[in-house]
Structure 1
Amino acid sequence: MPLFSLHTPPFTVRVATDSSTLFDDLTALYASDVLRQSSCPQHIYDFHIDYSRRFSGKSRPYHFRTGSEHFRMADAHQLIPTFEWGLNWCVSAYQQQYLAIHAAVLEKDGKALIMPAPPGSGKSTLCALLMLRGWRLLSDEMCLIDPTTGLLQPYVRPVSLKNASIAVIQQHQPGIAVFHRTPDTEKGTVAYLRPTDISWQQANLTAKPAWIVFPAFQPTAEPVAVFTMPKADTLLYLAQNSFNYAVFGAEGFKLLSQLVENTDSYRLEYHNTEQMLALLEQLLC
């Protein structure tokens, strides 16, 4: 079975698949030094993925598995979104060296912005727009906190766009390449943006957290409004959205307390994207 590997710091992944298209499809999303058309027998990979057909039928024949654990089945036309979701599952379920929070993370001028938010809040749309305006992407999904330093570890991967956010990105950035638009997934229509060159080039460079912003897209709200978040509320929300807070125990509480104490926290409600971007960059820069 063909093997290839992904070297996306801080994790490496070996993938075994019988798909004839998966590797070529991923080349649109990953840098050439990250996506490699072979695996090294001597390398100790963090995750070993088996992404191959398990049944001969036509319906959802591909299974994404690591070891004996099964994540999800996929149709051939949904290989890319299921692969990306599967990598998120591997990291959120099995890595324990970093305190992990479901959030987008970007950096500018040495300062990092953390954006935790539930689905539908506009987190990925805002993350993509800031990346395309010169912010360095650390992650669209994972805020990884190094427990020894309190710094944020990048985990650079494609930015996931869903449904209306695809058109928003193309409206604000005409001509931008949006890859692997996949309709009729369980999350609707999904597509991906390739990380910027600077994001790939600095994929090993940690960042110091400076701001925590909770975006909330609300069609009936004011065009844009910003509120200072109480630190206690910020701490509680981060803990609730951490994948492994319970594993870290008292150390997790200490890490999040230090993070909240050393950052400014805001809630951003908006429905006018241009005004929201202008206010956000004025607030943070």
Structure 2
Amino acid sequence: MIEFRRARDFSRDEILGAMKQGTLEMSLGPFTTLVKANSPSLLEFFYDAYRDVPVRLVMQDVTDITLEMRAPTIVRRYIRKQIIPDPGFQVPAIPLPESMAALSFEMGLNLAVALKCCRYVTFHAGVVAGPKGAILMCAASGGGKSTLVSALMEEGYRLYSDEFGLLNLQTAKLHAYPRPISLKGSSIPIVRDMSGPDWMTPALTGTPKGQIAYRRPRPEDILNENPVAVTRLIFFPRFQEGARPAARKMAKSEAIMRLIPSSTNYHLLGEEAFTALANMVAGAEAYELVYGNTRDSLVMVKDLAAKVMV
């Protein structure tokens, strides 16, 4: 059995060769992912943003996710170089220029987990964890979730995920899936100032989502295999320019009803999903947060964590 090693322990040529052959196997959180691609742009992004992720160059086992990055047509492979993610089933993916392969790759991983995973209840949420438990943050696009996740990392919290809360059906605990944090527009310089430029990928401009960059996970976020945590706090953050910071405590029933629409597979898992969700919320406190800047949101979260996570 060939052991996993960090991606940066291999050369670029070795990583690209395995990608071309479709034998690059990545182990991250509870999932193994087989990647196939022939994209210089994706190679550079992967070698940067996934440098500390365990990989091996020869497939050894059946994987959870298979993701091929390919051209939508033969013509667009050579004349108009474009790329789409193909997780093995039809997905609503928009062809992007090959130079935006990083965005296409991240979208492909999101779609694969959201539409194929049935071992966990999956929520579109950011998650960080500390010694006293996890904080789950569920927000609409533009709500400031990713910026807040990044800020909490600088406060000593471990990154579990920027995209998914993975709730175990049996234990009602959250599993880590620490991929790069997707940042858009004005949040990019904010996080760059907090974390330092060495932790940020180069920005992509002109994408369907505007300017995008990624904050890399740290080695300590990744290398402890499949950690789990009990949820202690649930936040529904909402950024509103110029707003004064305010926190409203929510009833557990309201928190459950707010979380259900954010799940991609709740309707498929039925009673098991409801039981796990109810058990998670029973052990946590939930708040709706309104704020006008990152500093205010961080102060509120730290104050609430100090009261609850003791």
Whether contact under 8 Å (2:45, 2:201) holds in the other structure is: no
1:59-208 matches, cutoff 5 A: 59=80, 61-72=82-93, 73-208=95-230
State the match for 2:282 in structure 1. Answer: 261
Query: Which protein is richer in helix relative to its size?
Result: 2
Whether contact under 8 Å (1:102, 1:242) holds in the other structure is: yes
Number of residue equivalences: 282
CA distance in 1, matches of 2:229, 2:172: 9
Whether contact under 8 Å (1:113, 1:209) holds in the other structure is: yes
Whether contact under 8 Å (1:65, 1:71) holds in the other structure is: no
Give the secondary-structure state (helix, strand or coil) at the position aligned to 2:193: helix
Amino acid paired to 2:240:
Q
State the match for 1:43 in structure 2. Answer: 61
State the Cα deviation string for residues 184-238 of structure 1 (Å, max 9, x = none): 111111110111222112341111110101111111311x111101222111011
Whether contact under 8 Å (2:122, 2:265) holds in the other structure is: yes
Give the secondary-structure state (helix, strand or coil) at the position aligned to 2:119: coil
State the Cα deviation string for residues 23-53 of structure 1 (Å, max 9, x = none): 33212111445244x232x311112222123
Distance 1:172 1:26, change over 3 A: same
TM-score (norm: length of structure 2): 0.86
State the match for 1:226 in structure 2. Answer: 247
Amino acid paired to 2:27:
H
For structure 1, list consecutive stretches of 5 or more residues without a partner in the other structure: none
Distance 1:214 1:179, change over 3 A: same
Amino acid paired to 1:269:
V
Give the secondary-structure state (helix, strand or coil) at the position aligned to 2:177: coil
Query: Which protein is richer in strand relative to its size?
Result: 1
State the match for 1:282 in structure 2. Answer: 303
CA distance in 1, matches of 2:103, 2:202: 8
Distance 1:88 1:260, change over 3 A: same
Q: Quote the sequence identity (%).
A: 29
Whether contact under 8 Å (2:128, 2:149) holds in the other structure is: yes
Amino acid paired to 2:66:
H
Whether contact under 8 Å (1:96, 1:244) holds in the other structure is: yes
CA distance in 1, matches of 2:105, 2:53: 19
Whether contact under 8 Å (1:128, 1:169) holds in the other structure is: yes
Give the secondary-structure state (helix, strand or coil) at the position aligned to 1:48: strand
Query: Over the residues paired in the alignment, what is the CA RMSD in angstroms?
Result: 1.7
